[in-house]
Amino acid sequence: MIAPKPRAVKARSRIPEDSPKQHARRILASFPTAAGRGAAEPLSWRRSEVRVFPTSGVVVLALLLASCGRGAGDDRAATAAAPGDGGPAGPPIALGAGAHETLPWAYVLNDPAPEGATPPDPDEVVTVPGSSLSLRRRDLGIANGPPDWHPDGHPPMPEIVASGAGEGVLPCGYCHLPNGQGKPENSSLAGQPFEYLVQQLDDYRAGRRRTAEPRMGPPTLMTTLGLNLSATDARVAAEYFSSLEYRPWIRVVETDSVPLTRFAGWIHEVVEGAGAEPIGERVVEIPEDLERTRLRDDASGFVAYVPRGSVARGRELARSGGGGRTVACTFCHGAELRGIGPVPALAGRSPSYMARQLFEFRTGHRDGSWSELMDQTVAALTVSDIVDLVAYLASLDP
Ligand code: HEC
Ligand code: HEC
């Protein structure tokens, strides 16, 4: 069932050969054609009703892009805008800096297992609240696909989501969960626009979406999987995930101190009885219930601890652009940050995931057909800007 893979990687340089204005038009032209330009009604992201930016938005966007006339990717640091009121804390994140070294809380690796830890019994029969299913732990391996604890919580999964397609194409639902809610080490897919998901999978297939931290397992697996995924399976999966509603999943808590955590299985795990530590300039995203998350329960969400004041600072940056330090996110992602047309939704999504994306747009690891639209936004961001932005975005109602 695997279709031949279109492997031709389109050569693309960050230096536009045409004028900035033509360049901007070319990028905009890659968006689907408008079905209702200028429409003021709420925008929908269902495939059949997709709208692009209203006409005025297109003009402003083109001007915005035309005005940024940058050079090659590696002098994007030079685009750093003058700081606005309050100024950014620290310098913009450096190109070429290690991903885990820059944002260890977003690029979570694995610590060695604690001494004397005993692995759970593979024959133990387990279940989760609200499920009529019982499984042996050993049945939770990826070869069996995602455990479907709550089959009533989503439409029937297509084969690609439930079982994968061989040749490194692992079942999508195993990582992204059957209902597409996702986890901090991967991403939520539920409710993202169909065109957006298809575009991302095209970018993966063309090698234009890479990870900045190959030591982190899940993004590396996604990259390999993306290179091997057929165009047909990509569309089937995108159709499934875009049809799902993304539900509130992350509880954002502002705090000065967080429970001490260790890195295990690519997430933060609370070290029981170890007390607390200052949060510092971090977001610490932790399962609400570690055991349920380990069992891949798609009804158990996450809590994100964020520094005190970060939500309000992030709101200011996201809504005003921080006096030129970045570009108002609402401009492209919608007033409620729930996405517009093919532009993805950010509200209520994983802060760890979003932080990785901001870093990867900045370093060019994420270099898909539409990624240039994010260039100016990320050019001058500091680590604390990223913390503030993702804290605010995650705190919003999806
Ligand atoms: C091994 C775990 C794993 C499996 C299996 C997996 N993914 Fe992913 N996926 C990831 C991770 C991790 C990311 C986020 C990478 C990052 O942080 O940049 C991701 C990101 C994505 C994105 C980008 C989302 C966005 O908002 O831009 C899409 C689309 C996607 N996956 C689709 C799929 C599809 C379709 C399948 C099944 C064919 C699948 N994935 C299977 C781990 C997985
Ligand atoms: C000029 C339009 C534009 C502006 C302004 C903009 N974005 Fe984006 N953003 C996009 C587009 C288009 C994409 C999809 C890029 C791609 O496909 O590679 C995107 C993608 C993203 C993603 C990745 C989402 C995912 O699911 O992987 C994040 C996170 C993001 N933007 C955050 C922001 C933040 C934060 C701001 C404001 C500080 C912002 N954006 C401002 C157009 C914009």
- pLDDT per residue over 297-337, tens digit each? 999 999 999 999 999 999 999 999 999 999 999 999 999 99
Residue pair 388/317 in contact by the 8 Å Cβ criterion? yes
Q: Which of 126, 123, 129 is nearest to 298 (CA)?
A: 129
CB 249 near ligand 2, within 6 Å: no
Q: What is the pLDDT of residues 110-147, one digit of tens each?
A: 988 888 888 899 999 999 999 999 999 999 999 999 99
What's the 219 CA to ligand 1 centre distance in angstroms? 7
Which CATH code of 1.20.1260.10, 3.30.2140.20, 1.10.3720.10, 1.10.760.10 fits the domain covering 134-242?
Answer: 1.10.760.10
**Residue bearing the CA closest to ligand 2, atom 24:** 344
Q: Which bound ligand lies closest to the C-alpha atom of 333?
A: 2
For residue 106, which of 306, 244, 298, 327 has the smallest C-alpha distance?
306
**Closest by Cα among 248, 149, 250 to 191:** 248
For ligand 2, whether the C-beta of 299 sits within 6 Å is no
Beta strands 250-255 and 302-307: pairing type? Answer: parallel
Provide the sign of the torsion angle of the four alpha carbons 9, 353, 157, 199, taken in this order: negative
Angle at 344 between CA 285 and CA 85, to 5 degrees: 70
Per-chain mean pLDDT for the chain: 83
Q: Which residue's C-alpha comes closest to atom 29 of ligand 2?
A: 354
Q: What is the dihedral of CA 92, 94, 98, 99, to 10 degrees?
A: 40
Pocket test for ligand 1, best of 225, 232, 357 (most atoms within 8 A of CB): 225
pLDDT, averaged in runs of 10, over the chain (398 residues): 39 35 36 26 26 36 38 31 50 87 96 88 97 96 96 98 94 98 98 98 98 96 96 98 98 98 95 96 98 97 98 98 96 97 98 98 97 97 98 98
Q: Which residues of 358-376 are buried (b: 16+ CB within 10 A; e: fewer)?
A: bbbbbbbbbbbbbbbbbbb
Query: Which residues face 268 on adjacent strands?
Result: 263
Q: Evaluate: CB of 373 within 6 angstroms of ligand 2.
A: yes
Q: Which of 214, 141, 182 is nearest to 302 (CA)?
A: 182
Read off φ and ψ for residue 305, nearest 5 degrees: -85, 130
Tokens 């401009």, residue?
A: 331
Atom 36 of ligand 2, nearest CA residue? 329
Question: CB of 368 closer than 6 A to ligand 2?
Answer: yes
Q: Tell whether ligand 2 has an atom less than 6 A from the beta carbon of residue 206.
A: no
CATH 1.10.760.10 location in the chain: 134-242
Token digits for 58? Answer: 């297109």
Question: In this structure, are residues 355 and 282 in contact, taking their beta carbons and an 8 Å threshold?
Answer: no
Rounded Cα distance between 92 and 2, Å, is: 43
